[in-house]
Structures are given as C-alpha cells and as structure tokens.
Structure 1
Amino acid sequence: MRRILVYGVTGSGKSTLAARLGVRLGLPYHSMDDLTWDPGWVPVGEELQRDRVRDVCATDDWVIDSAYGIWRDIPLARTDLVVGLDLPRWRSFGRLLRRTLVNVVRQRPLCNGNHETWRASFLSTESILVWHFKSFKRKRRRLRAWHADPSFPAEIVLLRSPREVERWLAGLPDRTPGADQA
C-alpha cells in the first residue's frame, strides 16, 4: 500500500483519515482541497487541477483524500488501495455540521488560508452543507459499485462506522516516527 485514495461522501472524515493514514504508514498526505482552491475560495481551473493531481499521483508514495470527477481517472489509474468511508447520512452530515460550525466560530483556516463564513456555510445554495445533500447518493452509489466490481483495478476496503475505521487502522503497520521505540 503505497498509493491510497480515501473516498466517501462529504463529511465522512476523508481528510482526517487520509492524514492519519499518511502518518501511520509513513506516506505523504496531500489535501486535494489545497490543490483545487486558491486563496479567496477561487476555484482552480480544470486543466491546472488535473496537472496538480497528475504531479502528485506521478510519485511513488501518496495518500489523497478525494477524487473529483474532472480528474478521478488520474489517481484511479495508479491507486493501490481505495479506502471507502460508507457512513450513514446522519453520521456524515452530523460531522460536517459540527465541523462547519467550529470552523466558522473559530475562524479556523482551511485550504490555502480560506475561511468558512456564516453566509457561505449556512445561507448559500452553494454551501458545503447543501453539497452534502446534492452529492450523497451519487457518491455512495459510486463507492458501493466500485466495491462490488470484481474488475475494479485496486483493492478496496469499505468501512461503515467509526469503530470499523479504528479497528482497520489498528491492524495496519505503524511506521509513525518513533513507533518502534515504544
């Protein structure tokens, strides 16, 4: 496992799990939001996104936290493992709502120094909360189809609860710096 894609619905914990996997396995983690959003929430153009993702995926070792439709083909062509987070809607939306509230209140910087705002997060038809509802069924269907497809080009692990995530992570080799010292 040297090239890992963490995939799931919005709010399922992809970025958190991908970062943890990177640390645990000693692999570089790449936040896809950092590659697809510039400061000021300016979306990066499709060709530049593809170039940036292609550069990451051309390396031998990586963990990424998403696969947007306009460049999904790039990581899937090289992925060794897809870790699918297939959490129930109530769980993923609850996480997303809580995370968004904390980000807005604390003005926590996100990708490339961007911040979520009350207006954009709660009052906009383009908010991440609205996006969760627009994309949930489609992403879940895709994830389950990949898992059911015996010809899918990479190993796929489907995790359906935080407990399953923790159990699976605990079974992985620990290459965290200093882990062998314990």
Structure 2
Amino acid sequence: MSAPSRILVYAVYGAGKSTLAARLAERLGLPWHPVDDLLWQPGWVEVPLARQRSRIEAICRGERWILDGAYHGWRDVPLARADLVVGLDYPRWRSFWRLLRRTVRRLVTGEEICNGNRESLGSVLSRDSVLVWHVTAFGRARRRMRAWQADPAGPPVLLFRRPAELERWLADLPRR
C-alpha cells in the first residue's frame, strides 16, 4: 500500500486517537487537524453542528489531512474522502485504563485539552464525564469500526487490536 494522504483515525475515547494522529502526521508529513479544537469553544461550549460540519468539509476538500475522530452530524464527510481509516479496536479495559490515566494526569497538571479547556474534578464526576462517555460509547464505536471494515464500498479500514500490531504497522510506513 502506498502512503495514504487522507487518514481518519477512529476509536473510543481514550484509546489513543490523538497520539496516533500526531505520530502519523510527523511520520508522513501530513497536516493533522485535532477534532477537539474544531468542536469545542472556550468554556466547553460546543460549536454548533452546522459549523462543525462546515469546518470538517473544508478540511476534507483538501488532498492531505489527518483527523482524529468522526462524530454524528458529519461522520460521512471524512469517510467519503479518506484514503484510509485506522481504527484502534483495543479491549475495553485497555482503552478505559488509558483514559483514566490521562484524565488523572490532566486533573493534576491542569493540562489544556483544547481552546483553553481543561479537565476539572466536577467534569470528571459529572454525567457528562469522559469516563462515562467511554463506557456508553465503547460498543457503538467498536461495531461502527467493524462495519466500516466489512463495507467494500467504503475506504480501506485497518483495525488494530493490540498496540504491538499498531507499532509493527507504523514501523513499515514510508517516511515523507
């Protein structure tokens, strides 16, 4: 396979989408567009869906990009243009553990997530907690990735079930 130039990285919250997208961008010389930056304004105010879609359409019209997620209301846009979907289909325990570790680190360090937004103890303990999102979204994300992989009409989908599989694939990618 030649190096793809339009990549959608997909997984449940906490699996490592952004980390992988950053690594792919560096390795392949492609621009990475962190989805959280496109969806959230300061104060955790969600960008209206029509504006989200417009932003994603503008990126996907380009010939070179990486997105680290695809959400309702515009998921069809990157899927229609992607050369490759890379799915992190890790076991629930692995992705939840990664998410929990990252969330605790962000709480302790005050690390910015996007557009000035940070984790807070209140957000982590709320109904809208990213930890709750993980639990409720895990099965849907897994079914979606597997359905995309089985669909011959869609872009090629590589699913990685273990980090070691992903590392082997990354090592074989050409550098740009």
Tell me whether the two structures share a fold, i.e. TM-score over 0.5: yes
In the alignment, structure 1 residue 74 sits paired with structure 2 residue 77: yes
Alignment of 1:30-179 (within 5 A): 30-121=33-124, 123-151=125-153, 153-175=154-176
Read off the aligned partner of 1:66 and give its amino acid letter: G
Secondary structure of the corresponding residue to residue 126 of structure 1 = coil
In 2, the alpha carbon distance for the partners of 1:141 and 1:155 equals 16
Tell me how far 1:114 sits from its aligned partner: 0.6
In 1, the alpha carbon distance for the partners of 2:106 and 2:73 equals 27
Secondary structure of the corresponding residue to residue 10 of structure 1 = coil
Q: 2:27 aligns with which of 21, 24, 29?
A: 24
Q: 1:2 aligns with which of 5, 18, 21?
A: 5
CA deviations over 1:3-28 (Å, ceiling 9, x no partner) = 00001111110111011101100000
Give 5+ residue unaligned stretches, structure 2: none
Secondary structure of the corresponding residue to residue 4 of structure 1 = strand
Tell me how far 1:149 sits from its aligned partner: 2.2
Read off the aligned partner of 1:159 and give its amino acid letter: F
Read off the aligned partner of 1:112 and give its amino acid letter: N
Secondary structure of the corresponding residue to residue 40 of structure 1 = helix
CA deviations over 1:99-125 (Å, ceiling 9, x no partner) = 00000110001111111001101x101
Read off the aligned partner of 2:162 and give its amino acid letter: S
Read off the aligned partner of 2:156 and give its amino acid letter: E
Secondary structure of the corresponding residue to residue 87 of structure 2 = strand
Q: 1:11 aligns with which of 1, 14, 17?
A: 14
Report percent identity of matched pairs.
58
RMSD, aligned α-carbons: 0.8
Task: Using structure 1 for the length normalisation, give the TM-score.
Answer: 0.93
Task: Using structure 2 for the length normalisation, give the TM-score.
Answer: 0.96
In 2, the alpha carbon distance for the partners of 1:78 and 1:52 equals 14
Give 5+ residue unaligned stretches, structure 1: 176-182
CA deviations over 1:39-58 (Å, ceiling 9, x no partner) = 11110000010111111111
